[in-house]
Amino acid sequence: MKAPRKFFEPLAIGAPAPLRDLPARLERMIHFVPPHNEKVRAKVAELAPQVDVVLGNLEDAIPIESKEAAREGFIAMAKAVDFGATGLWVRVNALNSPWLLDDLARIVGEVGDKLDVVMVPKVEGPWDIHFIDQYLALLEARHRVAKPILVHAILETAEGVNNVTAIAAASPRMQGMSLGPADLAASRAMKTTRVGGGHPDYRVLGDGAGAARASAQQDPWHYTIARMVDACAANGLKPFYGPFGDFSDPEACEAQFRNAFLLGCAGAWSLHPNQIAIAKRVFSPDPAEVAFAKKILAAMPDGSGAVMIDGKMQDDATWKQARVIVDLARQVAAKDKDFAPLYGF
Ligand code: GLV
Ligand code: MG
Protein backbone atom coordinates (compact mmCIF):
# COMPACT_ATOMS: atom_id res chain seq x y z
CA MET A 1 0.00 0.00 0.00
CA LYS A 2 1.26 3.48 -0.81
CA ALA A 3 2.18 5.57 2.24
CA PRO A 4 -0.24 8.50 2.70
CA ARG A 5 2.45 11.21 2.46
CA LYS A 6 3.64 9.86 -0.90
CA PHE A 7 0.33 10.72 -2.53
CA PHE A 8 1.27 14.40 -2.37
CA GLU A 9 4.80 14.06 -3.75
CA PRO A 10 5.21 14.72 -7.48
CA LEU A 11 5.59 11.46 -9.43
CA ALA A 12 8.41 12.90 -11.58
CA ILE A 13 11.31 15.21 -10.81
CA GLY A 14 10.21 18.67 -11.89
CA ALA A 15 6.47 17.93 -12.04
CA PRO A 16 4.17 20.25 -10.06
CA ALA A 17 3.06 19.10 -6.60
CA PRO A 18 -0.35 17.38 -6.57
CA LEU A 19 -3.27 19.51 -5.38
CA ARG A 20 -4.73 18.85 -1.92
CA ASP A 21 -8.18 20.20 -2.84
CA LEU A 22 -10.01 20.53 -6.12
CA PRO A 23 -10.06 24.07 -7.54
CA ALA A 24 -13.52 25.56 -6.84
CA ARG A 25 -15.02 25.60 -10.34
CA LEU A 26 -18.50 25.60 -11.68
CA GLU A 27 -18.94 22.61 -14.01
CA ARG A 28 -22.66 22.35 -14.75
CA MET A 29 -22.07 21.15 -18.29
CA ILE A 30 -19.09 19.62 -20.05
CA HIS A 31 -19.71 20.72 -23.61
CA PHE A 32 -18.35 18.32 -26.22
CA VAL A 33 -16.82 19.62 -29.45
CA PRO A 34 -15.34 17.55 -32.31
CA PRO A 35 -12.04 19.40 -32.81
CA HIS A 36 -11.29 18.02 -36.29
CA ASN A 37 -14.25 20.02 -37.58
CA GLU A 38 -12.94 23.43 -38.61
CA LYS A 39 -16.37 25.06 -38.72
CA VAL A 40 -17.11 23.97 -35.14
CA ARG A 41 -13.65 25.07 -34.01
CA ALA A 42 -14.16 28.51 -35.47
CA LYS A 43 -17.16 29.02 -33.18
CA VAL A 44 -15.46 27.97 -29.94
CA ALA A 45 -14.33 31.48 -28.94
CA GLU A 46 -17.97 32.57 -29.05
CA LEU A 47 -19.18 29.42 -27.30
CA ALA A 48 -16.66 29.39 -24.44
CA PRO A 49 -18.25 32.14 -22.30
CA GLN A 50 -21.66 30.43 -22.57
CA VAL A 51 -20.57 27.11 -21.06
CA ASP A 52 -18.68 26.04 -17.94
CA VAL A 53 -16.37 23.54 -19.66
CA VAL A 54 -15.32 23.08 -23.29
CA LEU A 55 -14.15 19.53 -23.99
CA GLY A 56 -12.36 18.50 -27.17
CA ASN A 57 -13.42 14.95 -27.95
CA LEU A 58 -10.78 12.69 -29.46
CA GLU A 59 -12.40 9.33 -28.64
CA ASP A 60 -15.63 7.64 -29.76
CA ALA A 61 -17.65 9.53 -32.41
CA ILE A 62 -14.40 10.73 -34.02
CA PRO A 63 -13.78 8.70 -37.20
CA ILE A 64 -10.54 6.70 -37.22
CA GLU A 65 -9.23 8.63 -40.22
CA SER A 66 -9.74 11.90 -38.29
CA LYS A 67 -8.03 10.93 -35.01
CA GLU A 68 -4.84 12.89 -35.77
CA ALA A 69 -6.80 15.84 -37.16
CA ALA A 70 -8.89 15.94 -33.97
CA ARG A 71 -5.75 15.94 -31.81
CA GLU A 72 -4.10 18.72 -33.84
CA GLY A 73 -7.38 20.62 -34.06
CA PHE A 74 -7.66 20.53 -30.29
CA ILE A 75 -4.15 21.96 -29.95
CA ALA A 76 -4.94 24.73 -32.44
CA MET A 77 -8.20 25.55 -30.64
CA ALA A 78 -6.51 25.57 -27.22
CA LYS A 79 -3.86 27.99 -28.49
CA ALA A 80 -6.25 30.28 -30.32
CA VAL A 81 -8.98 30.76 -27.72
CA ASP A 82 -8.92 32.62 -24.42
CA PHE A 83 -11.09 30.37 -22.24
CA GLY A 84 -11.22 32.79 -19.28
CA ALA A 85 -13.05 31.14 -16.36
CA THR A 86 -14.31 28.33 -18.62
CA GLY A 87 -12.55 24.99 -18.16
CA LEU A 88 -10.63 23.37 -21.01
CA TRP A 89 -10.79 19.57 -21.03
CA VAL A 90 -9.89 16.86 -23.52
CA ARG A 91 -11.30 13.35 -23.83
CA VAL A 92 -8.37 11.22 -24.96
CA ASN A 93 -8.56 7.82 -26.58
CA ALA A 94 -8.69 4.67 -24.47
CA LEU A 95 -5.65 3.15 -22.77
CA ASN A 96 -5.52 0.19 -25.16
CA SER A 97 -5.79 2.32 -28.32
CA PRO A 98 -2.97 3.23 -30.69
CA TRP A 99 -3.62 6.96 -30.11
CA LEU A 100 -3.38 7.52 -26.36
CA LEU A 101 0.40 7.96 -26.09
CA ASP A 102 0.48 10.68 -28.73
CA ASP A 103 -2.78 12.26 -27.55
CA LEU A 104 -1.19 13.00 -24.18
CA ALA A 105 2.36 13.65 -25.40
CA ARG A 106 1.34 16.15 -28.12
CA ILE A 107 -1.31 17.92 -26.08
CA VAL A 108 0.65 18.31 -22.85
CA GLY A 109 3.71 19.31 -24.88
CA GLU A 110 1.85 22.00 -26.81
CA VAL A 111 -0.84 23.28 -24.46
CA GLY A 112 -0.21 21.63 -21.05
CA ASP A 113 -0.49 24.96 -19.26
CA LYS A 114 -3.95 25.67 -20.66
CA LEU A 115 -5.36 22.20 -20.08
CA ASP A 116 -7.41 21.69 -16.90
CA VAL A 117 -8.63 18.10 -17.09
CA VAL A 118 -7.99 14.94 -19.11
CA MET A 119 -11.08 12.75 -19.39
CA VAL A 120 -10.06 9.09 -19.60
CA PRO A 121 -12.57 6.67 -21.11
CA LYS A 122 -13.25 3.04 -20.18
CA VAL A 123 -11.37 3.14 -16.87
CA GLU A 124 -11.48 -0.36 -15.37
CA GLY A 125 -9.56 0.04 -12.14
CA PRO A 126 -7.02 2.12 -10.20
CA TRP A 127 -4.17 0.69 -12.33
CA ASP A 128 -5.45 2.70 -15.30
CA ILE A 129 -5.33 5.91 -13.26
CA HIS A 130 -1.84 5.06 -11.94
CA PHE A 131 -0.54 4.78 -15.51
CA ILE A 132 -2.10 8.10 -16.57
CA ASP A 133 -0.88 9.74 -13.34
CA GLN A 134 2.74 8.71 -13.93
CA TYR A 135 2.73 9.49 -17.65
CA LEU A 136 1.23 12.94 -17.04
CA ALA A 137 3.83 13.65 -14.35
CA LEU A 138 6.65 12.82 -16.77
CA LEU A 139 5.14 15.04 -19.45
CA GLU A 140 4.48 17.88 -17.00
CA ALA A 141 8.12 17.70 -15.89
CA ARG A 142 9.48 17.63 -19.43
CA HIS A 143 7.35 20.58 -20.53
CA ARG A 144 7.59 22.57 -17.28
CA VAL A 145 3.83 22.61 -16.76
CA ALA A 146 3.14 24.78 -13.72
CA LYS A 147 -0.14 23.37 -12.36
CA PRO A 148 -1.09 19.70 -12.22
CA ILE A 149 -3.43 18.47 -14.94
CA LEU A 150 -6.41 16.74 -13.35
CA VAL A 151 -8.01 13.44 -14.39
CA HIS A 152 -11.67 12.57 -14.91
CA ALA A 153 -12.67 8.92 -15.39
CA ILE A 154 -15.64 7.68 -17.39
CA LEU A 155 -17.46 4.88 -15.58
CA GLU A 156 -18.51 2.78 -18.53
CA THR A 157 -17.54 -0.84 -17.98
CA ALA A 158 -18.86 -3.41 -15.54
CA GLU A 159 -15.34 -3.81 -14.17
CA GLY A 160 -15.03 -0.05 -13.68
CA VAL A 161 -18.28 0.04 -11.70
CA ASN A 162 -17.00 -2.87 -9.59
CA ASN A 163 -13.85 -0.85 -8.82
CA VAL A 164 -15.43 2.58 -8.56
CA THR A 165 -14.21 3.34 -5.03
CA ALA A 166 -10.63 2.32 -5.79
CA ILE A 167 -10.68 4.45 -8.97
CA ALA A 168 -11.89 7.48 -7.00
CA ALA A 169 -9.09 7.01 -4.45
CA ALA A 170 -6.33 6.23 -6.98
CA SER A 171 -4.67 9.65 -7.19
CA PRO A 172 -4.94 13.25 -5.96
CA ARG A 173 -5.25 14.12 -9.66
CA MET A 174 -8.78 12.69 -9.69
CA GLN A 175 -11.24 15.52 -10.40
CA GLY A 176 -14.37 13.44 -10.91
CA MET A 177 -16.22 10.79 -12.82
CA SER A 178 -19.00 10.56 -15.40
CA LEU A 179 -21.51 7.84 -16.02
CA GLY A 180 -20.98 6.47 -19.55
CA PRO A 181 -24.34 4.81 -20.15
CA ALA A 182 -23.75 3.78 -23.76
CA ASP A 183 -20.56 1.77 -23.28
CA LEU A 184 -21.73 0.59 -19.87
CA ALA A 185 -24.93 -0.82 -21.36
CA ALA A 186 -22.85 -2.75 -23.92
CA SER A 187 -20.37 -3.97 -21.30
CA ARG A 188 -23.18 -5.27 -19.12
CA ALA A 189 -25.19 -6.77 -21.99
CA MET A 190 -28.11 -4.51 -21.12
CA LYS A 191 -30.73 -4.88 -23.86
CA THR A 192 -30.93 -1.31 -25.11
CA THR A 193 -29.67 0.72 -28.06
CA ARG A 194 -30.01 4.09 -26.28
CA VAL A 195 -27.43 6.55 -24.98
CA GLY A 196 -28.61 7.25 -21.43
CA GLY A 197 -32.16 7.80 -20.27
CA GLY A 198 -34.92 5.35 -19.38
CA HIS A 199 -36.42 2.51 -21.34
CA PRO A 200 -40.14 1.89 -21.84
CA ASP A 201 -39.76 -1.79 -20.91
CA TYR A 202 -37.90 -1.17 -17.64
CA ARG A 203 -40.84 -0.69 -15.30
CA VAL A 204 -42.67 -1.78 -12.21
CA LEU A 205 -46.27 -2.95 -12.28
CA GLY A 206 -48.60 -2.09 -9.42
CA ASP A 207 -50.87 -4.61 -7.72
CA GLY A 208 -54.23 -5.51 -9.27
CA ALA A 209 -55.20 -7.09 -12.54
CA GLY A 210 -55.80 -6.22 -16.19
CA ALA A 211 -55.18 -3.06 -18.16
CA ALA A 212 -56.01 -0.78 -15.23
CA ARG A 213 -52.89 -1.86 -13.31
CA ALA A 214 -50.68 1.11 -12.61
CA SER A 215 -47.26 0.88 -14.19
CA ALA A 216 -44.30 3.23 -14.09
CA GLN A 217 -40.97 3.37 -15.86
CA GLN A 218 -37.96 3.05 -13.54
CA ASP A 219 -34.51 4.53 -13.92
CA PRO A 220 -31.97 1.91 -15.05
CA TRP A 221 -29.08 4.23 -14.08
CA HIS A 222 -30.08 4.86 -10.50
CA TYR A 223 -27.85 2.17 -8.99
CA THR A 224 -24.73 3.20 -10.91
CA ILE A 225 -25.19 6.91 -10.25
CA ALA A 226 -25.70 6.28 -6.55
CA ARG A 227 -22.50 4.20 -6.35
CA MET A 228 -20.58 6.81 -8.31
CA VAL A 229 -21.85 9.64 -6.08
CA ASP A 230 -20.76 7.82 -2.91
CA ALA A 231 -17.33 6.96 -4.31
CA CYS A 232 -16.80 10.55 -5.46
CA ALA A 233 -18.17 12.29 -2.36
CA ALA A 234 -16.14 10.05 -0.06
CA ASN A 235 -12.97 11.04 -1.91
CA GLY A 236 -13.67 14.73 -2.53
CA LEU A 237 -14.38 14.36 -6.26
CA LYS A 238 -17.30 15.49 -8.40
CA PRO A 239 -19.74 13.03 -10.02
CA PHE A 240 -21.42 13.80 -13.37
CA TYR A 241 -24.22 12.39 -15.49
CA GLY A 242 -22.68 11.64 -18.88
CA PRO A 243 -24.37 11.84 -22.28
CA PHE A 244 -28.07 11.87 -23.12
CA GLY A 245 -28.28 10.86 -26.76
CA ASP A 246 -31.89 11.57 -27.77
CA PHE A 247 -31.69 15.23 -28.81
CA SER A 248 -35.35 15.12 -29.85
CA ASP A 249 -36.49 14.56 -26.25
CA PRO A 250 -35.34 17.52 -24.14
CA GLU A 251 -37.92 16.70 -21.44
CA ALA A 252 -36.47 13.25 -20.80
CA CYS A 253 -32.98 14.72 -20.86
CA GLU A 254 -33.97 17.28 -18.25
CA ALA A 255 -35.58 14.61 -16.05
CA GLN A 256 -32.42 12.44 -16.15
CA PHE A 257 -30.15 15.42 -15.43
CA ARG A 258 -32.43 16.49 -12.55
CA ASN A 259 -32.35 13.04 -10.92
CA ALA A 260 -28.56 13.14 -11.11
CA PHE A 261 -28.47 16.67 -9.64
CA LEU A 262 -30.74 15.70 -6.74
CA LEU A 263 -28.59 12.65 -5.99
CA GLY A 264 -25.42 14.76 -5.80
CA CYS A 265 -24.04 15.19 -9.33
CA ALA A 266 -22.36 18.47 -10.26
CA GLY A 267 -23.16 18.48 -13.97
CA ALA A 268 -23.70 16.52 -17.16
CA TRP A 269 -22.36 16.39 -20.70
CA SER A 270 -23.90 18.60 -23.37
CA LEU A 271 -23.59 17.01 -26.79
CA HIS A 272 -26.03 19.34 -28.52
CA PRO A 273 -26.42 23.11 -28.12
CA ASN A 274 -29.96 22.69 -26.73
CA GLN A 275 -28.57 20.66 -23.82
CA ILE A 276 -26.52 23.65 -22.59
CA ALA A 277 -29.63 25.50 -21.42
CA ILE A 278 -31.05 22.30 -19.92
CA ALA A 279 -27.90 21.69 -17.89
CA LYS A 280 -27.80 25.33 -16.75
CA ARG A 281 -31.38 25.14 -15.57
CA VAL A 282 -30.94 21.82 -13.80
CA PHE A 283 -27.50 22.19 -12.19
CA SER A 284 -28.09 25.72 -10.88
CA PRO A 285 -30.08 25.41 -7.66
CA ASP A 286 -33.75 26.37 -7.62
CA PRO A 287 -34.12 29.98 -6.38
CA ALA A 288 -36.93 28.93 -3.98
CA GLU A 289 -34.64 26.27 -2.45
CA VAL A 290 -31.86 28.84 -2.15
CA ALA A 291 -34.20 31.28 -0.40
CA PHE A 292 -35.27 28.57 2.05
CA ALA A 293 -31.67 27.47 2.63
CA LYS A 294 -30.73 31.09 3.39
CA LYS A 295 -33.52 31.18 5.99
CA ILE A 296 -32.06 28.09 7.68
CA LEU A 297 -28.57 29.61 7.79
CA ALA A 298 -29.92 32.90 9.16
CA ALA A 299 -31.97 31.12 11.85
CA MET A 300 -29.02 28.97 12.99
CA PRO A 301 -25.93 31.17 12.59
CA ASP A 302 -23.53 28.65 14.17
CA GLY A 303 -25.29 25.58 12.75
CA SER A 304 -26.17 24.02 16.11
CA GLY A 305 -29.41 23.34 17.97
CA ALA A 306 -32.84 23.01 16.37
CA VAL A 307 -35.42 25.48 15.07
CA MET A 308 -38.75 25.26 13.24
CA ILE A 309 -39.14 27.10 9.91
CA ASP A 310 -42.50 27.00 8.09
CA GLY A 311 -43.44 23.94 10.17
CA LYS A 312 -40.27 22.03 9.21
CA MET A 313 -37.67 20.89 11.73
CA GLN A 314 -34.15 22.19 11.16
CA ASP A 315 -31.00 20.95 12.86
CA ASP A 316 -27.28 20.49 12.24
CA ALA A 317 -27.95 18.17 9.28
CA THR A 318 -30.36 20.48 7.43
CA TRP A 319 -27.95 23.36 8.16
CA LYS A 320 -25.28 21.39 6.26
CA GLN A 321 -27.74 20.73 3.40
CA ALA A 322 -28.48 24.45 3.30
CA ARG A 323 -24.74 25.20 3.10
CA VAL A 324 -24.40 22.92 0.04
CA ILE A 325 -27.21 24.76 -1.73
CA VAL A 326 -26.15 28.29 -0.79
CA ASP A 327 -22.47 27.62 -1.60
CA LEU A 328 -23.47 26.33 -5.04
CA ALA A 329 -25.77 29.31 -5.59
CA ARG A 330 -22.88 31.67 -4.76
CA GLN A 331 -20.66 29.89 -7.29
CA VAL A 332 -23.36 30.08 -9.95
CA ALA A 333 -24.04 33.75 -9.20
CA ALA A 334 -20.34 34.58 -9.48
CA LYS A 335 -20.06 32.97 -12.94
CA ASP A 336 -23.49 33.46 -14.46
CA LYS A 337 -25.03 36.95 -14.62
CA ASP A 338 -28.46 35.51 -15.48
CA PHE A 339 -28.71 33.66 -12.17
CA ALA A 340 -27.18 36.21 -9.78
CA PRO A 341 -30.37 38.33 -9.36
CA LEU A 342 -32.52 35.21 -8.81
CA TYR A 343 -30.51 34.32 -5.71
CA GLY A 344 -30.43 37.84 -4.25
CA PHE A 345 -26.73 38.00 -3.40
C1 GLV B 1 -19.94 7.63 -23.10
O2 GLV B 1 -18.80 7.61 -23.48
C3 GLV B 1 -20.77 6.49 -23.08
O4 GLV B 1 -20.29 5.42 -23.52
O5 GLV B 1 -21.94 6.61 -22.68
MG1 MG C 1 -18.22 5.66 -24.07
Q: Where are the domains of the chain?
A: 4-283, 289-343
For the chain, 345 residues long, give each residue's pLDDT as a single digit of tens: 899 999 999 999 999 999 999 999 999 999 999 999 999 999 999 999 999 999 999 999 999 999 999 999 999 999 999 999 999 999 999 999 999 999 999 999 999 999 999 999 999 999 999 999 999 999 999 999 999 999 999 999 999 999 999 999 999 999 999 999 999 999 999 999 999 999 999 999 999 888 789 999 999 999 999 999 999 999 999 999 999 999 999 999 999 999 999 999 999 999 999 999 999 999 999 999 999 999 999 999 999 999 999 999 999 999 999 999 999 999 999 999 889 999 998
The CATH class of 4-283 is: alpha beta
Å from CA of 62 to ligand 1 middle? 13
The number of the ligand 1 atom at minimal distance from the alpha carbon of 121 is 2
Of 184, 224, 225, which is best to mutate to test ligand 1, by the most ligand atoms within 8 angstroms of its C-beta?
184
Summarised one tens digit per residue, pLDDT across range 42-83 is 999 999 999 999 999 999 999 999 999 999 999 999 999 999
Query: What's the confidence (pLDDT) of residue 224?
Result: 98
Per-residue pLDDT of 160-177, as tens digits, reads 999 999 999 999 999 999
Mutate to test the pocket of ligand 1, among 55, 154, 192 (most ligand atoms within 8 A of CB): 154
pLDDT at position 212, please?
Answer: 82
Following CA atoms 60, 76, 40, 50 in sequence, which dihedral angle do they give, to the nearest 10 degrees? Answer: 100
Residue 59, ligand 1, Cβ within 6 A: no
Model pLDDT, residue 209: 84
| Ligand 2 center–CA 31 separation, angstroms | 15
- Of the ligands numbered here, which is closest to the C-alpha atom of 184? 1
Residues with Cβ–ion distance below 5 A, ligand 2? 156, 180, 183
- Which of 124, 195, 228, 271 is the pocket-test mutation for ligand 1 (most atoms within 8 Å of CB)? 195
Check residue 194 and give its pLDDT. 97
Coil, helix or strand at residue 224: helix
- pTM for the model stands at 0.97
> In this structure, are residues 188 and 158 in contact, taking their beta carbons and an 8 Å threshold?
yes
Looking at every residue in the chain, the average pLDDT score rounds to 97
Ligand nearest to the CA of 179: 1
Residue 150: closest CA among 104, 89, 100, 93: 89
Identify whether the C-beta of residue 252 lies closer than 8 Å to the C-beta of residue 197: yes
The response to whether residue 242 sits with its C-beta less than 6 Å from ligand 1 reads yes
Task: State CA 131 to chain mean position distance.
Answer: 21
What pLDDT score was predicted for residue 238?
A: 98
